[in-house]
């Protein structure tokens, strides 16, 4: 699918993004091993979360997702999953394949996880290594580093694992395996990552211990987890395109309603504020264990900034959008410590630079990020998402502030995480 974008003269409106993808994955997987039924409202309906649901169904878990994005899921209990009779297809979802690896390592049966061409090239050694150390028998392609992943689980022993790379997916996989292990399992993170897993497991009755930061310990439970019904906050990664659009468009005011503002995820807000963006929170409240707010942003005069260190994992999926915002900021913005971008659905360092350069951006790739010099007036071009949903959304925002009409190829890639993105785009920009 191609989408041609003409820049709107002004933007005013309110948009409510789809449910948080990270929380939706976890709500489905954790409730699948709970002892009872749970209702999850505002479940993220994109392709990635549906891949997780299909895997759970193949493991014997009953669920129903209706047209209003309400998921009703009946947990099988910690010991109630069954051996699948075919390969579990994770599609394009790195979250699914890595978290499910941890869950399946604790099961006393054989399973195979696979995905699309992109997933088969993404690194899996980071999750396979600690799980095999715990006692799971795992075989994978390319020296146990890439999917497909074959797992013979059960008979796990708790470990203390110092993670070499910050990854909430790997942390979650180890904690899930720890629920089935003999003894305590502890994780030491190099820097704090999104903590949805810890919040949710603790709310479900898991024995989670928070040591001196950033150490987390889980003990195997003596009973099933309690089912957790919740309303999933709006995904801040899906809110991010509108936040950047509001800041860089010359005549805009956008309210993004019901957004999760967990402090481990709000790097995009912090980065924009450091650039001088007129952005603030209203109606702050809590849904379950997660903080939520409406985020409002207005047209802003931006200045350069540095994005590095602990800010990077808090904004990893939004870094291409921050690079776009930097095109409109005075001075040179540097994004570094983000080599992980090369291992996403596309090499997001390469794809961001390639596509924004087509539009006239003064941006250069670095081994671990970008350098962007601004301000630059972007011009129309024919650009491609490279089948990467984050790049597709970034280019949509770029087209809305460029001179002339911009055409985005493979614009339907947004369906991976934000199926109604283009409808929300039209709602904000058509007046």
Other CB atoms closer than 10 Å to residue 372's CB: what's the count?
A: 27
What does the alpha-carbon distance between residue 408 and residue 394 come to, in Å, rounded to a whole number? 10
> What is the three-class DSSP state of 196?
helix
What does the alpha-carbon distance between residue 256 and residue 244 come to, in Å, rounded to a whole number? 11
What does the alpha-carbon distance between residue 287 and residue 289 come to, in Å, rounded to a whole number? 6
CA-closest candidate to residue 375, choices 362, 356, 358: 362
Which of these is catalytic: 20, 48, 317, 388? 317
Token couple for 208:
């989670």
Show contacts of 275-281: CB within 8 Å, 24+ apart.
275/247, 275/300, 275/302, 275/303, 275/304, 275/305, 275/325, 275/326, 275/329, 275/333, 276/300, 276/301, 276/302, 276/303, 277/243, 277/247, 277/302, 277/325, 278/247, 279/243, 279/246, 279/247
DSSP 301: -
Beta bridge partners of 74: 37, 62
CA 276, 277, 280: angle at the middle one, nearest 5?
120
Active site residue 317: yes
What does the alpha-carbon distance between residue 379 and residue 101 come to, in Å, rounded to a whole number? 44
Token couple for 424:
């929300």
> Which residue do the tokens 């999953």 mark?
81
Enumerate residues 6+ apart whose C-beta is below 8 A from 354. Answer: none
DSSP 119: G
> Which residue do the tokens 């209702």 mark?
39
Enumerate residues 6+ apart whose C-beta is below 8 A from 166. Answer: 189, 190, 191, 192, 193, 313
Beta strands in 185-249 (DSSP E): 185-188, 207-210, 215-219, 230-231
> What is the three-class DSSP state of 72?
strand
What does the alpha-carbon distance between residue 349 and residue 333 come to, in Å, rounded to a whole number? 15
Token couple for 410:
């493979």
CA-closest candidate to residue 297, choices 361, 240, 343, 233: 240
Q: Which residues are catalytic?
A: 317
């Amino acid at each position: 699918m191609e989408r041609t974008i003409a820049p709107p003269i002004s933007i005013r409106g309110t948009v409510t993004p789809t449910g948080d993808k990270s929380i939706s994955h976890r709500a489905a997987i954790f409730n699948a091993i709970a002892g009872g039924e749970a209702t999850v409202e505002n479940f993220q309906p994109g392709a990635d979360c549906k891949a997780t649901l299909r895997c759970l169904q193949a493991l014997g878990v009953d669920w129903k997702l209706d047209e209003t994005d309400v998921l009703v899921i009946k947990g099988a209990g910690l010991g109630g999953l069954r051996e699948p009779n075919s390969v579990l297809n994770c599609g394009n979802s790195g979250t699914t394949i890595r978290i499910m690896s941890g869950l399946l390592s604790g099961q006393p049966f054989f399973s195979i996880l696979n995905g699309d061409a992109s997933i088969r090239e993404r690194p899996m050694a980071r999750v396979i290594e600690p799980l095999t150390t715990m006692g799971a028998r795992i075989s994978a392609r390319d020296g146990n580093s890439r999917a497909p992943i074959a797992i013979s689980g059960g008979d796990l022993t708790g470990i203390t694992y110092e993670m070499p790379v910050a990854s909430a997916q790997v942390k979650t996989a180890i904690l899930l395996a720890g629920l089935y292990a003999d003894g305590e399992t502890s994780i030491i993170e190099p820097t704090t990552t999104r903590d949805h897993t810890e919040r949710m497991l603790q709310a479900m009755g898991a024995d989670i211990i928070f040591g001196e930061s950033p150490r987390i310990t889980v003990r195997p439970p003596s009973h099933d987890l309690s089912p957790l019904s919740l309303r999933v906050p709006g995904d801040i990664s899906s809110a991010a395109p509108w936040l950047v659009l509001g800041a860089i468009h010359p005549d805009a005011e956008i309210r993004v309603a019901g957004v999760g503002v967990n402090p481990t995820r709000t790097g995009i807000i912090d980065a924009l504020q450091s650039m001088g963006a007129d952005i603030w929170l209203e109606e702050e409240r809590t849904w379950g264990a997660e903080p939520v707010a409406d985020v409002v942003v207005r047209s802003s005069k931006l200045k350069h900034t540095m994005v590095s260190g602990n800010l990077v994992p808090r904004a990893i999926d939004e870094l291409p959008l921050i690079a776009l915002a930097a095109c409109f900021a005075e001075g040179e913005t540097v994004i570094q410590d983000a080599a992980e971008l090369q291992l996403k659905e596309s090499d997001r360092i390469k794809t961001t630079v390639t596509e924004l350069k087509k539009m006239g951006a003064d941006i250069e790739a670095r081994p671990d990020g970008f350098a962007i010099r601004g301000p630059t007036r972007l011009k129309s071009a024919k650009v491609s998402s490279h089948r990467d949903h984050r790049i597709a959304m970034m280019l949509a925002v770029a087209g809305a502030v460029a001179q002339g009409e911009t055409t985005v190829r493979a614009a339907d890639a947004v369906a991976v995480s934000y199926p109604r993105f283009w409808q929300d785009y039209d709602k904000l920009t058509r007046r």
